[in-house]
Amino acid sequence: MPDDATHPQARRMLAICRLIDESDGDAPPLAELAARAELSPFHFQRTFKAVVGVTPKQYADASRLAKLKSTLRAARDVTAAVMDAGYGSTSGVYGRADARLGMTPKQYRRGGDGVTISYASARTPLGLILAGATDRGLCFIQFGEDEASLRERLRAEYPLARLEPMREPHDPQFDAWIAALNRHLAGEQQKLELPLDVRATAFQLRVWNYLTTIPYGQVRSYAEVATAIGRPGASRAVARACASNTLAVAIPCHRVIRGDGHLAGYRWGLARKRALLERERAGAAEA
């Protein structure tokens, strides 16, 4: 399926995205969406995922969740925010929103109050990192010069969460995640699969999902990413989504560069971005 958003089927899928975004309450059922796209449900689902990067249901859930997140802190209470976002009741939203928010709607409204994040620092081939994890997966991976400044960044990201330093010896699962990250950074393991607990808007989700599909050792421009997710002309928004990534390497925003081939910005330093890309290109060439 071409990434070009001017392709007829790509235009149809983007029209479906707009329909989902503008819907009140539940998105139209799959059969209705497929009929509007003039495809069978099977081919519609496959085409939609090829163009957008997620399934129609995942897109609808992310779109509704984005509405919920935008209203949670401004609404008079959680129930009002849930209803304004198109959920029929508060009972169903908790199970579905919980996985994407990394917390319940009420906890998110309160800035992460009630969420526990365990964290620990580790040395990697590209410097010190601090990794934070909820009981669902890693929610924070960042490079830095010292643990104190990294803890401040973690606190800024989750201002009311309960932050707990991980006791020694670390949980074996955490050590396994760090070992996999180190092998990846050393060029010994191309595919990095870590359980992630991310908070994202619908647009960020589309960008981040696409970034994980960029092959090891390759790069894309901001404009190419924007076109691939069906938003040609949204290069700056793509750049902002990359800059808001708090999961270094796990969500490979380092693989996005300017259209003229220059590296552009990287929140963890251009030298580190260059080193990441050089190691990946060398590793891909040896494979």
The band of 180, judged by pLDDT with boundaries at 50, 70 and 90, is very high
Catalytic residues: 253
The count of structural domains within the chain is 3
76: CATH: 1.10.10.60
pLDDT, average across residues 236-259: 94
Higher pLDDT, 64 or 219: 219
Is 174 contained in some domain? yes
Asked whether 48 and 13 are in contact (CB, 8 A), the reply is yes
Which residues, in sequence order, are CB contacts of 92 under 8 Å at separation 6+?
none
- Do residues 61 and 24 share a domain? yes
pLDDT, average across residues 37-58: 85
- Do residues 12 and 96 share a domain? yes
- Do residues 87 and 21 share a domain? yes
Write out 189-228 in H/E/C secondary structure.
CCCCCCCECCCCCHHHHHHHHHHCCCCCCCCEEHHHHHHH
Question: What predicted TM-score, i.e. pTM, was given to this entire model?
Answer: 0.64
Q: Give the whole-angstrom CA distance, residue 257 versus residue 273.
A: 10
Is 2 contained in some domain? no
Pull the structure tokens for residue 267: 């929140």
Which residues, in sequence order, are CB contacts of 54 under 8 Å at separation 6+?
62, 205, 206, 209
Is 96 contained in some domain? yes
- Do residues 207 and 263 share a domain? yes
Domain final residue pick, 75, 100, 125? 100
Q: Give the whole-angstrom CA distance, residue 67 versus residue 65.
A: 5
Which residues, in sequence order, are CB contacts of 136 under 8 Å at separation 6+?
99, 102, 195, 197
155: CATH: 3.30.160.70
Q: Give the whole-angstrom CA distance, residue 71 versus residue 74.
A: 5
Alpha helix segments (H runs only) across 75-170? 78-84, 90-101, 105-109, 147-157
3-class DSSP assignment, residue 41: helix
Q: What domain range is 63 assigned to?
A: 8-100
Is 3 contained in some domain? no
The band of 58, judged by pLDDT with boundaries at 50, 70 and 90, is confident
- Do residues 124 and 154 share a domain? yes
